[in-house]
Chains A and B, each alone.
Chain A
Amino acid sequence: MSRHSHKNPGSPGVQLGLIITPMLDMSFQILAFFIMTYNPSALEGHIPGSLVPPADVAKKSKDNNNSPAPVDPLSIPEDQLNPELDSAVTVKVRAVVKGQESEGHPVGSVRQMLVQTSLDTSAEIVSEAHHDFKDALKLLDERLKKMTTSKTNLKIAPDGDLRQEYVMVLYDACKNAGYSKVHFVPPPVLNTKLNKK
């Protein structure tokens, strides 16, 4: 289709003397393609981690001269792990299991939180089942900020039944309390299974 080009003194726009219909068609096709394939990049971030190979765990263990190389790194008792982590604060989290659920505490949510300052000390209860999760987080934050140990390493040891969303909230809370290295401890259920193998 050709377009007439003529001067119109009353028209404010620029008069194009080109055949722009094919260009317009193509432009609309490209536009349609982009609209259909448009996928706004998700606001995803990541939490990095490393999987220590079995041989390296053996090198790092306390008794590496005496004990044989472990077959399964996750089955190593906690006290034989990297000595750097021995002094790390441990946040133990008990989950609500079936039969314990109540209003505001669904299955897989946080039932109880305990903090253990080192392997030699016993764990202290920070929050109980009657606490709202937000209150429990506040209590945990206060407890972690009061710690006198060097704020570097912290271990989160949740129950295997705890939902991932709560694990991430706890990770956030620990990071925000000033611990730069937050580690995840394998859940007790998995550890037991692995030890039996």
Chain B
Amino acid sequence: MSASVDSEGLDVNLTPLLDLVLQLIMFFMITINFVRVDQFDNSINLPLASTAVALDKSADDWIFLNLDGQGRLVGTLSTFVLDTPQKLKVHLMREKESLERAARAQGKTGEQKIVIILRADKQCKYAEVFTVLHSCQLAGFKHWQLRVMTKSKGAG
């Protein structure tokens, strides 16, 4: 940062600083990502998969389920007691009805495409994942996505 000194004192040239600050603001504004709290639960370590595809945004709505290493539902669902598949099924049915009601209130007609997003920890067992999926199936959901961390084919 340059400064000029004359009889009146120190005069700091703020132009480069302003440039930098505005550039940083622009960077953050472009890359900011407002997400729902339940979308990214940091306690979940997702498994890696190189063949995963980009996120599908064609759905009308999503329901996020976070499954931790012990096979428990965490995140926003941790406030509910969903310790059995039956309870989970009932909860999901209510969620589905609620989303469909909200869509109808907005004037949307026809069947809503509600996708279950399952963020299962890499340490959880396959049976636990399938138990949750089975509950979703019984609750009337038709689409699901398993979230994974993407990695390039050459990596790791």
Contact = CB atoms under 8 A, between A and B. Distances in A.
A31 B21 contact: yes
Interface in B119-156: 120-127, 129-131, 133-134, 136-138, 140-151, 153
Contact of B35 (A10, A39, A169): A39
Given A34-B29, A45-B52, A162-B125, A73 B21 contact: no
Provide the main secondary structure of the chain A interface. Answer: mixed
Contact of B121 (A10, A164, A184): A164
A44 B49 contact: no
Counting chain A residues whose Cβ lies within 8 A of the other chain, the interface size class is 35 or more
Contacts of B43: none
A49 to B, nearest CB: 5
A148 B132 CA distance: 35
A50 B130 CA distance: 13
Interface residues of B, number: 64
A103 B126 CA distance: 22
Given A50-B143, A165-B47, A165-B48, A31 B137 contact: no
B53 interface: yes
A20 B14 contact: yes
B126 A167 contact: yes
A158 B2 contact: no
Contact of B145 (A49, A72, A167): A49
A152 to B, nearest CB: 15
Contacts, number: 188
A1 interface: no
Interface stretch (A76-84, A116-124, A136-144, A171-179): A171-179
A125 interface: no
Interface in A44-61: 44-53
B11 A168 contact: no
15 contacts: A13-B13, A38-B28, A41-B33, A44-B149, A45-B49, A45-B52, A45-B150, A46-B117, A46-B146, A74-B134, A74-B137, A162-B125, A163-B123, A165-B122, A167-B126
Interface of A: 4, 6, 8, 10-14, 16, 20, 23-24, 27-28, 30-31, 34-35, 37-53, 72-74, 108, 158-165, 167-169, 171-172, 175-176, 184, 186-187, 189-190, 194
